Amino acid sequence: MTNTNHFLEIDDLTATELQTVLDRAETYKDAQQNGDDHADLAGQTLGMIFQKPSTRTRVSFETGMTQLGGHAVFLGEDDIQLGRGEPLKDTSRTLSRYVDAVMARVFKHDNIEVLAEYASVPIVNGLTDDAHPCQTLADLQTIREQEGGFEDVSAAWIGDGNNVAQSFTVGAALTDIDLTVATPAGYGIDDAVVERARDLGGDPTITTDPIEAVTDADIIYTDVWISMGQEDERDVRMTDFEGFQVCSDLLEHAPEASVMHCLPAHRGEEITDDVIESDHSVVFDQAENRLHAQKALLSWLLEA
Distance CA 167, CA 252 (A): 27
**Do 10-132+290-303 and 135-286 fold alike per CATH?**
yes
Q: What phi, psi does 206 have (nearest 5°)?
A: -115, 125
8 Å CB contact between 291 and 64: yes
Of 130, 288, 126, 153, give the one whose Cα is nearest residue 221: 153
* pTM attached to this predicted model: 0.96
Listing from the earlier edge strand, what are the strands of the sheet with 205-207? Answer: 205-207, 178-182, 154-158, 219-222, 258-261
CA distance 228 to 106: 12
**Whole-number pLDDT of residue 3:** 42
In order of 19, 177, 253, 283, the CA distances from 248 in angstroms are: 33, 24, 9, 16
Q: In the CATH scheme, what is the code of domain 135-286?
A: 3.40.50.1370
Per DSSP bridges, beta strands 71-76 and 205-207 are unpaired
The predicted structure's pLDDT at residue 1: 36
**pLDDT for the residue 79:** 86
Closest listed residue to residue 143, CA positions, set 121, 168, 162, 114: 168
CA atoms within 13 A on the CB side of 51: 20
Q: How far out from the chain centre does Cα 299 lie? A: 18
Residue 48 assigned ligand-binding role: no
Q: Is 134 annotated as a binding residue?
A: yes
143 touches 150 (CB < 8 A) = yes
54 is in an annotated binding site: yes
Q: Is 58 annotated as a binding residue?
A: no
- Is 55 annotated as ligand-binding? yes
DSSP H or E stretch at residue 162: none
The runs of H, that is alpha helices, within the chain are 15-34, 56-67, 88-96, 109-118, 133-147, 163-174, 191-199, 210-214, 234-240, 248-251, 273-276, 283-301
Q: What percent of the chain has pLDDT over 90?
A: 92
User: Known binder of ligand: residue 248?
Assistant: no
pLDDT of residue 4: 52
Question: For the chain, what are the domain ranges?
Answer: 10-132+290-303, 135-286
pLDDT score recorded for residue 2: 38
Domain 10-132+290-303 fold: Rossmann fold (3.40.50)
pLDDT < 50 stretches in the chain = 1-3
Helix (H, G, I), strand (E, B) or coil at 76: strand
CA-closest candidate to residue 244, choices 276, 208, 219, 280: 208
Supply the pLDDT for residue 229: 79
Which residues are tagged catalytic?
105, 132, 135, 223, 262, 290
Helix (H, G, I), strand (E, B) or coil at 125: strand
